[in-house]
Amino acid sequence: MIYSSHPFGFNVSSLSGILNDAWRNNLRDDISGALICRADVYLQLLEGPPIAVKAAMDRIKLDDRHVDITPHVSGPVTERLFGDWAMLDDPARSWLWTQEEVAQDALKNATEEEVLAVFTRLAEETRVH
């Protein structure tokens, strides 16, 4: 599952809270993934047992730190991109959509392939470093 949302009250404390909740819940539920975060957008990939991923999404939908949650990709995978990470915390990269592009709905208009490519590239960079 890949979704995007807009942060509500983005700051270090709020982001730390999201990451701590994700690490705790994901370790418990056998979920791995990555969160790309910036003041104007969260882009998150969750991978694991379908029931656990759905439960995580249900929690996220109730979390007032996320606004305008938009699903982008959902479905089974044969191999995890971030299997070693309960939740990789990654600041938005320069090659990600600009703030202006996000404001003009670039993520809402992106194809599944474009959104998945962001995480494929991040996974490749993570393995290299």
- pLDDT tens, 43-101? 999 999 999 999 999 999 999 888 999 999 999 988 999 999 998 887 767 678 888 99
Element (H, E) at 35: strand 32-38
User: Whole-angstrom Cα distance, residue 67 to residue 48?
Assistant: 24
Q: Is the CATH number 3.30.70.100 carried by domain 2-124? A: yes
pLDDT band at 14 (very low <50, low <70, confident <90, very high): confident
Domain spans in the chain, listed from the N-terminal domain onward: 2-124
pTM metric for this prediction? 0.89
Find out whether 88 and 33 touch, Cβ atoms under 8 Å.
Answer: yes
Q: Are strands 66-73 and 32-38 parallel, antiparallel or unpaired?
A: unpaired
Per-residue pLDDT tens digits for 18-49: 888 899 999 999 999 999 988 888 999 999 99
The predicted structure's pLDDT at residue 111: 94
- Residue 3 backbone class (left: φ over 0; alpha: ψ -120 to 50; beta: rest): beta
